[in-house]
Structure 1
Amino acid sequence: MSASKDIQSYLQKWRILTAILLLLLHPGQGFLTGYRGGVGLDGFGICPADLRNCSCRSYTGAETEIDCPEADSTVHLRIEPHQYAEMRCQRNRRYEFDQIPQLSIGETNRLTIDDCPFPRHQSILQLVSFLGTTQVKVLWLKNNANHEHSASLVRNHFAGLENLDRLAISNAKLSDIGPDLFEHLPNLTWLDMRDNIFQLPPTIFDALPKLRILELSFNSLEELNPRLLRHLPNLQLLTLWHNKLRTVSRQVFTGVPELERLDLSANQLESVPSDLFADLPRLTELAMGFNNFRSLPEGLFRANHELRKLKLASQRVELETLPRDLLQNLPALEQVNLERMGLTSLPGTLLHGSPNVTQLNLAFNQLRQLPEDLLRDQKALYILQLQHNQLTNLPDGLLKNTRDLHTLRLSHNQIGELSADILKALGKLEELYLDHNQLHTIELNAFRYTTALHTLHLQANQLAFETLNALPGPALDKNEEDPSDIAAPDEFGMFVQDGTPFQHLHQLRELDLSSNWLTAVPRDLLLNTHELQRLNLTRNNITSLTYANLQFLAPAITVDLRHNNIIEINLADMERLVLLERRSYEEQTGRARILLNDNPLNCNCIAYAFAKYIQNKLATAVYDRLELVADALTCQGPEHLQGMLIKDVPTRELLCDLDTPTTQIRHCPTACKCFIRPEDMGVIVDCSSQGLTEVPELPRPSTFGYRFIELHVENNNISVLPDKPATVAGGWSEVRELYASNNTIGTLETAQLPNGLRLLDLTRNRLTELSAPIAEMLSASTTLNTLRLAHNVWTCECEATQFVTFAHTNQRRIEDFGRLRCSDGRQLEHTTLGDLCTDRTHTIVLVCVIVSVLACLAAMLSFVYYTYKLELKVWLFKHGICLWLVAEEELDKDKLYDAFVSYSHKDEAFITEHLVPTLERDPMNFKLCWHVRDWTPGEMISSQISSSVEQSRRTIIVLSTNFLESLWGQLEFRTAHLQSMAERRNRLIIVIYGDIGSIDELEPELRAYLHTNTYVRWGDPWFWDKVRFAMPHPPKVRGATGTSTAVKSGVSTAGGLFMKQLHGTTVDDKMELIKPQTAPATPPVLTTPPTEPTACTAPASGPFIISGNGTVTGTPPVYYHQQINPYRVSGHINGAFVINSNAKQSDV
């Protein structure tokens, strides 16, 4: 068969390749053009150029569809060259076949005409002449009976089809079938006539000597003429299924000696003669189901030794039994189907002499018992189906010869026990179905020899764990060994002595034990069934699970435990054991999958580890070993957790009773309830609402593996807590959480509280205060984190300051701090120490108010002072008020100068015209150190800078862009700055002259100074007042008496040198005292200078005495800022020798 398909596929590919080559070589000569002047058809969907009024399109690959007419199709064609052509008509429409384009498809395998009327005076070939078919092998005529005007099929319709091989007529118009209907079909081998045939002429098939297959199903034939098949010597298959035959005679089959397959099913046969099939020696398959047989004759198949398949199933009338020799001595018989026949018993000799039966189906009968020798000769039996009967047991010897049995179906019977002998010979049995019986006992060795079993269904029985191994089975022969004494092979693990019958099923892959009475998972299934993949334990009575019940050695098993009565799942040791066993299964592929939903789980402490698993709180290795599916599992108890999903249950709520009814030594105090909590290994002792007057003696958790006590004594009459020394033998010292609300406790002592207390609830008692020791103890506790003290009668008087202080200090610990109230109703949260002693409070309040007002006033004055400090001091200094605030210290009394002026020589105009004159004349009269005037020629400049800074009370820095470029100016700044830092006094006065740019871009030291000190900017309306304020402050303001300090000291205050006109060439910076300066001074003097005068007056002491080596001018006063009297001398002025800066060295 496979080789034939390969050849056909090869030929098909060759045809397609040939067609492609033809198209490439002759592009204008396709199937649709150039073929005898007609219209050909391209198997690849190429449509003709002349479609007339039709449409043509490619359908799928080699198929083409044509609809005529295109707009409203009445005829639809689908064609694949060399394969088939189908024509389908629309009902009740006018057909114009002459409008269809002429095609030439040549030879075709199959022609189908569906729903089209037959012409009265044309053959079928003439009807489809537009196709251009030269030969048709298979013809299907369907549904022409739907047309009123269609002609009934007659002989002439088949004219020209002499080579037709197969003909199928379905729902055709055959109202008057002629005896010569098939006269033009001598080569027909296959004929299918179905639907609407009521009677056939006796000679209708006489013209079909080559007919091999005749199908007459779905007709209404009531009888068969004895001559009907007489001239069909090659007939091999006859199908008469679904007719109305009541009787069939032997003569009908006389002329068909080659008949191999016969189907008489679904008729109305009630009986047949015993020799009905006597002339059919080649008969191999017979179907007679769905009839009305009331009995079958003996010897019915006596002549049919080649019979292989027999189907008598589904009789409409109950047969009850069969003839004793019905199936005897049929050596070729392989498949027997006797299901649904109403059989209640079978003869033991039914199959004797038929040893090759492989499939026997006796299902859906009413068999109550089977003869022990029924299968005596069935050594080749492979499948035995006995399901849906009323069998109560099986004889031990029934299957002893069926050693090749592969599948045994016994479902839906009433079998109660399975003995050790019934399956003893079935070493090749792979599938056993015993579900839906009344099976309550399976002997221990029942499966001892069925080691190949891989599918076992035992659901819907009465099996209980105890009864699985209750019966040891019959005594073994002397030569047999007890399997419990046999060491199992390594690959099978080990036997469990006194185990279950499953201990032998090492190849078992599927086991269904659902709907039984099991109370536990059979241990054999854990250890010995290494290949087990599916284990169904649903709807049993399993009440508890441990990790030991889930340690399956099968690598990828799925265990269904849903719909049981599991109330406890104890996985306490699972995580530890998994981590210990990791090496033994780390190479294992897969993990056990356990389905646990739909069980009434009691969510107590036993479920703690299980809840942690479900909530992903265990080690990863656990989840690699085991998958527990409980996403929809809810708690059925206790009441406060009922209905909650286990995945959402807080693990702290999982508790168990400390003492159980079977506990011999009780730990829980009388009248109390005690629980254990694995979450924190705590013991909960609940003695609330018991009318207690004292705390009962408590157990010691440390003695039975727990850590502490959570004690509840709420709603009692306890007035005093126990004293620790008195209860040292009990568990009071191990209390960590104490709930004692709603009692009558009035006092609290340090000796009464256990060490390590974490929670203390004393609400609704009679406490009035906390003593200093107890308050100190509670405050110093490192473990106490929750304290509840509300609803007590707290005293809020002057003596209760200790408690009030404690409460406010520990409000983080006091959970109900906001609800603490004094005995007079005041909230402690809003009560201060001042509220406790009202007599002292008023005085304290008054003093506090005054102090607060003064502090606010001082703060305001300080704010104003520090905000406007400079302006305020300047104003006070200017008006001679509070001069002590601005007086100079005695530290500077020996200084020679009030200020040293540091500037760039390029800013000479500003110095000579504004700064020096204004500071040295009235009313300021400061003595300035000006290097042009006061330095000694010839000395080191750096030494003179240092000396000038040290001998001056202030250093005035004229900061300009020129200054920033002067190296000597920077040296003078650093020298003055260092002195200020050394003396921790501000001796620098920065005068910003002109635009110096951003301060942040200056040299770091200068930038830091300007950011942290006040400076004066030229052009400020308060410029001279701020400079005067920054200068040294004598006890009496200079100039107050009109006498200049400079005059008194005998030093000129004119400040100018009588050397040359200062607006021309100026004295250069330090190093250039003898070098003319040609660069102009920058920046120019502001156009709007301060209102102070800009020229110095003559010294008050009279004219200078001048002597020089040049021209000498007399005694009239000299104004060094005016451009008159240009003296250019070198000589003495009042005893001082003066050098002209423009003089030559020879002039000095």
Structure 2
Amino acid sequence: MRVYVFLVLVHLLTCLSSASASVSRPRCHHCEKPSYCDCSRQNLWRIPVIPSKDIAELDLSFNKLWSIMNNEFHGYGSLQSLTMSNNKIQTIQEEAFVPLSNLKELDISSNILESLSGKWFKNLVSLQHLNLLGNNYKTLGQGHLFQPLKGLRRLELGGPYLQSITINDFSGLSEELEELFFRGEHLQSYMIGSLRRIAPIRRVSIALGGLFERDPTLAEVLMSDVANPNTTLTFADTKFDKADHMVPFKAANKGGTTHLRFKNSSMTLAAFVALLRMLSYSNVTLFVVEDAKLFLTHFDLGLSPLKLNNLGHIVFKNLEVPQFYSFPAFFFLAPVMKVLHSLSVINSSVFAVPCETSVDLSNLQYLDISSNFIDDFRLVYLMCDGKDVFQGLQTINISKNYLQSINSQLFTKLDNLKNIDMSGNKFYRMPENCSWPANLQFLNLSSTRLTTVTDCLPKSLWILDLSHNDLTVFDIGLPCLKELYISGNKIAALPSGSLYPHLTFLSIPNNNLPTFSSDGLNDYGMLGYLEAGSNSYICSCDFVALMADGLTGHRVELRDRADQYICESPDSERGKAVRDAHLSVFECHMALALSLLCSGIMAVLLLTVGLCHKFNVLWYMKMTWAWLRAKRKPVLKRAELKYDAFVSYSQMDSGWVEAHLIPELEQNEPRLRLCLHGRHFVPGGWILDNIIDSIEKSHRTLFVLSQHFIRSEWCKYELDYSHFRLLDQNTDLAVLILLEPIDKQTIPKRFCKLRNVMNSRTYLEWPDDEAHLPRFWQSLRRAIKRPENDT
């Protein structure tokens, strides 16, 4: 029975093992870039399966990972960056990172690891950046934790639970280490020399919280191990409430520290003064306080003056001063001020600097008081009304203050001044004329709401920044200018290049620039670089062609991206990058296209005229019009006809008509009434109208055919209209008399019906023999005479 129960248990365990192994690993669905997968914030509880083996960066932060197993990174051999911060990782198996031999960055910060193991890193031979901050470990293991990491350059470790550092904790770290961030706000023990075992590190950041108050001796011991002339020492997230808290900084003084920084810290004025006194006679050349708070408290000036003769650069940036309006003038800092070469007080609530302080800054070369509360009046006070102060100053930055006027006279006597940054103020307008230092080379007036520029601009400028104003034109000649920045305005044309003979760089994006041409670029004799994207470009053929060759023909290089040059018109290309625009031949070669079009139209017209002439289209149109007009008239009955015959003849044959035809038909019985154009056409009327009217009122139309008739234009009209009547009424209305032999081929081919009549009917020929005349006249009368019962 026991054996049976044992076998059942074994079977159940096997099934459970198989079931757990069959559970599929999650997948990451945010691998948009070829080598990067963003798998953060996806509630992952295991390492996901990646879609490609070529992934170089994997972000697994802010998930629910709690344990990293040995086989979970199988297939991640190409990974170079792995981030697993802000999870719940509490265990990592020793072989978990073995496949990651190419890994350069590993971040497992902000988890709940209670212990660290050097075996994790034994195969991470390429690792350069390791972040172990914010875990629950109290120690760094059994020592030699970082022994395998010979190429490590940046190390971040420590956290709220770290209590002790031993002598072997940092052994194995080579000279490659460049940056160390150490957090030990609850550190209780530190073995002297632990950090000294590492070669001098270029940058060391220490976050010790309240350790300077709780155990200043421990803080001093730790500081003595990292203080070095070649190390930039930064204190982050630390409080300094009292003057006594600055005692450990004598270790920095003894260690020869040259660069000292405070970041995200708080400090009282008493502690600050004590720090300066502690650093007297030190090698500190750079002193930086950034993202910190400075509280007003009573402080003791002491008896001896401050001695910081090596201090050349002071930076206060984003310094919050809750009672800035009550702070005293630091006249006691005069000895320090006299040695300074660079002073930056940025975004630190400065609203006034006494003239006396400016006088003390006699060796200052760089002054930055940007993003403060300086107005026009207090700037005059700072500059001592333009008198003999700041004689060595080369650069001044007074941007983002409350200035409203360009008071250039304050700087006129500063012969060494080359750079002035007045951006971010509210000037609105510029004086017509200004007086500037003779050697001024750089002037920044960007974001000052200027609408126009004047001759106030100094002619000595090399670099001018007028970006993000309201300028519509820029046409001030600056013969020495090399770089011009006028982006973000409303300028509609490139400035004339002849005004800037030495210009090498032009930045004019985000304006109203519709185009620029080869000629415009050629005006700039030395232009080498251009930024002109994000304008509303009219994509003409010349402009598209100019952009297609990348401006190489003008020796100009675009410094912004080509896809920032977008077509606004024509409509067919709107929204496309200029380089992708395709214009038609008609758009690109307007003059040639119009010439070809006009030539084509002319050719078609000539061809049409030729065809109309060849196929008598004009004749058909005229006769159709005449026929339509005649159709609108009521048809006369035969009794209503006025004439027996309308005689159509050439004026050259009038002699025959008057000598033979008229006497014979009108004077001999039976007399006939003939309509002749010489006596019956209405004077002043249109000839064609007379012809039509005469034919309509005649019983017959008598054509006296001869060579003269064939060549007569008006005879042709009479013949044409008669031809229409033949077609319309289908009766024998035409009587033909041939005065002389005529080849039928000479009759116009368009009279096909008439030619058929001549072929099918007989016509009268004027006889050469007088004996045949009676018969001729008899036949003619018979053809013309109307029947007696005609009604």
What is the TM-score when the length of structure 2 is the normalising length?
0.41
Higher relative contact order (CA 8 A, sep 6+): 2
Q: Return the structure number with greater helix share.
A: 2
Structure with bigger gyration radius: 1
